[in-house]
Structure 1
């Protein structure tokens, strides 16, 4: 019997791990050392119950040493001789442990494992709904005990106290958590299945349509921008000139602005799509960055926080300005313009730019790439061209059009309006 077990040595194990080639070496008595192609070393106990082959993972090497693996294998073999299916028993214990998780624990597990694959803004919004709305209501309940009635009551309360649209987002977050729970065997069903916000709260308000500022509105808005301060003026102009998202601009850093090449790089972490991209800068856009540089007072951010409260809340750290600060400022500006410009949001400046790019004759694909929209279908799969030259030409034309509006000069396709010096 001594020849059938304890065949391996520590020196052999270290050599196999160092070599890195996949191996499966038996130590005897069903205990096997395995090394995968990915470099994961583990101990497996192979045995039979009722004539059927079974496997039990005893742990990873070197966390579980050769001596420890032999001890665990010996203990498991003793249970097997008594008729216990040790692998099945471990699965049952694991399932019972998962079933004991509270909904709060399941939600934390979901956020930790799934959030890294979501866009930054989606993470922020969904975390707010989970931590601020869902967990205070059902966080302490065992995940497996949450039923459809609990979901309906929660959605009903959200629809009543907030809005149907928020209720839709909360239901989506709930359902995604339960889908994750089913995948990791923490729950056996999704109580959100078949639940409808419309059935609970009635028809939700239609989503606000994106606004396109007309040429007439732009001719009123642009000359009025100096009244809101230089930083705000340049921020609004950059949103228009670069067609970018407000979050991408507020998080922009000087290290990402290349004045010589007239380019601004938006890194993966700042991009809504999670994939970095480069924006060609027209002369007016470059002038806006140049005007903002001395105003940033040495901050690494193009638009640093200007409120003492915000920097104090971050321990005095160098932080960027808040999106809502620009949004609030725009609402006040529209109020001052006495109805000559409809109330709009920073994101409406993207739809404004996109609409005018079409009116200026810019190719659809080029216009979509100016906004960093993903190209769907086969175009998105096969067309890997970055359209940098085409985008630069399109944004130069768009900048010339905006400059004509700013100076209240007539616009004709093909003309070039001299840029005024940025304030």
Structure 2
């Protein structure tokens, strides 16, 4: 009796998929339609080579139709009859293709597959290091040809132009790309394994410690803020009053600010953690947002770009202000105030706020949530309370202290009301 082939039909296949049950249905002569428990529909050719059963995946349905699957199966069967182990030959070709991949191709594949799982700020920073630092030096090399010696020379050369912090980040990005390559069989070894930045260039300078502005410094800085411009002054005050990051404020839009509820929502895309959160706004913070409205000139951004060049570079589209601008203005302000105030950055305003929250008697968990810091350990796992009421009370106490410093009014420890976490 002749073998029965072409048993399946498109309507049958669609019924199998609709039923959403794992199946393996033969079309005849080794061609089989499979549907996994996860819902992946594919074509497999089952054949024998050297007395052993083998399988060759022909593609997924519906990308590979029933007609095309039969055509591919016929071509593969012809090779099997000629003595070719088609599955092993497919693996060999795939391995050769992976081996021929350049470092730049591997880096592009890494970014495409891994970046969606990382926070937006991490993606931005790592892309800059890959595209701007690593690929210009290693991009054209075959990924498998990059050796530990190449990595050592690369890092050693970077030490002449980059800071220790940047070198650490570049080395991490390089190592992650090669780890990805190992998983994809594009490389055989990770040339970064077994070496470290410290082993290559010695101990790097420690990172600059975050600075806390003292009460005396705040009493000098706050009254002097108008000298750097109204919008810059309001930005600095908002960073202090809300304990937010400069990147979160830079991307803030008026649609995110609810004046009636006295809240500012930072969406997922703008949050460093990748998870949106709501900031309770004190009357002082609301006053800053109100003052910024006419300065925005109808822009959707709370702090729009002022330079025509920036908007032109973005095709005329609205863009937020450049964060480095505020940093430069703060440096000018500190220079103007002389040695009475240490030079500080926008991010130092967060450490300033966090340190003073503790001094004002705010519970450590409430203070950490004011800065949108994730709570580690079991607290972070089980404590899902948003602390909105406690955060608002803490920020109101902090705002009273800030306004007293700005106005030159006295502040005594008797003003402090301990703020504890909810029981």
The alignment's TM-score, normalised by the length of structure 2, stands at: 0.95
Where does structure 1 differ by over 6 angstroms across 4 or more consecutive aligned residues? none
- Give the alignment's Cα RMSD to 1 decimal: 1.5
Report the secondary structure of 1:339's partner residue.
helix
State the alpha-carbon separation in 2 of the partners of residues 156 and 64 from structure 1.
50
Partner residue in 2 for 1:5: 5
Deviation at 1:78, TM superposition (A): 2.6
State the alpha-carbon separation in 2 of the partners of residues 9 and 410 from structure 1.
86
Preserved contact between residue 243 and residue 371 of structure 2 (Cα < 8 Å): yes
State the alpha-carbon separation in 2 of the partners of residues 392 and 152 from structure 1.
51
Deviation at 1:202, TM superposition (A): 2.0
Report the secondary structure of 2:83's partner residue.
coil
State the alpha-carbon separation in 2 of the partners of residues 331 and 149 from structure 1.
41
Q: Please, which moves more after superposition, 67-76 or 333-342?
A: 67-76
Report the secondary structure of 1:59's partner residue.
strand
Deviation at 1:360, TM superposition (A): 0.6
Deviation at 1:414, TM superposition (A): 6.2
Partner residue in 2 for 1:395: 395
Deviation at 1:115, TM superposition (A): 1.4
Report the secondary structure of 1:366's partner residue.
helix
State the alpha-carbon separation in 2 of the partners of residues 409 and 240 from structure 1.
18
Q: Please, which moves more after superposition, 63-72 or 32-41?
A: 32-41
Q: Please, which moves more after superposition, 118-127 or 238-247?
A: 118-127
Partner residue in 2 for 1:384: 384
State the alpha-carbon separation in 2 of the partners of residues 316 and 2 from structure 1.
71
Partner residue in 2 for 1:356: 356
Partner residue in 2 for 1:167: 167
Preserved contact between residue 160 and residue 201 of structure 1 (Cα < 8 Å): no
Partner residue in 1 for 2:420: none
Deviation at 1:227, TM superposition (A): 1.4
Partner residue in 2 for 1:335: 335
State the alpha-carbon separation in 1 of the partners of residues 203 and 277 from structure 2.
39
| Count of residues in correspondence between the two structures | 416
Partner residue in 1 for 2:374: 374
Q: Please, which moves more after superposition, 46-55 or 274-283?
A: 46-55
Deviation at 1:45, TM superposition (A): 1.3
State the alpha-carbon separation in 2 of the partners of residues 316 and 67 from structure 1.
50
Deviation at 1:286, TM superposition (A): 0.8
1:309-359: CA deviation from partner (whole Å, max 9, x where unpaired): 111111221110011011111000000111211100000000000000011
Partner residue in 1 for 2:273: 273
Partner residue in 1 for 2:225: 225
1:39-70: CA deviation from partner (whole Å, max 9, x where unpaired): 33211112233343322110111221212211
Partner residue in 2 for 1:252: 252
Partner residue in 1 for 2:90: 90
Q: Does the alignment pair 1:286 with 2:286? A: yes
Partner residue in 1 for 2:408: 408
Q: Structure 1: which 5+ runs fail to align?
A: 417-423
Deviation at 1:235, TM superposition (A): 0.1
Q: Structure 2: which 5+ runs fail to align?
A: 417-423
State the alpha-carbon separation in 2 of the partners of residues 161 and 237 from structure 1.
35
State the alpha-carbon separation in 1 of the partners of residues 395 and 363 from structure 2.
12
State the alpha-carbon separation in 2 of the partners of residues 81 and 98 from structure 1.
28
Preserved contact between residue 3 and residue 29 of structure 2 (Cα < 8 Å): no
Report the secondary structure of 2:385's partner residue.
coil
Q: Please, which moves more after superposition, 385-394 or 111-120?
A: 111-120
Deviation at 1:272, TM superposition (A): 0.3
Deviation at 1:144, TM superposition (A): 0.7
Deviation at 1:307, TM superposition (A): 1.0
State the alpha-carbon separation in 1 of the partners of residues 15 and 364 from structure 2.
59
Preserved contact between residue 241 and residue 398 of structure 1 (Cα < 8 Å): yes
Deviation at 1:292, TM superposition (A): 0.6
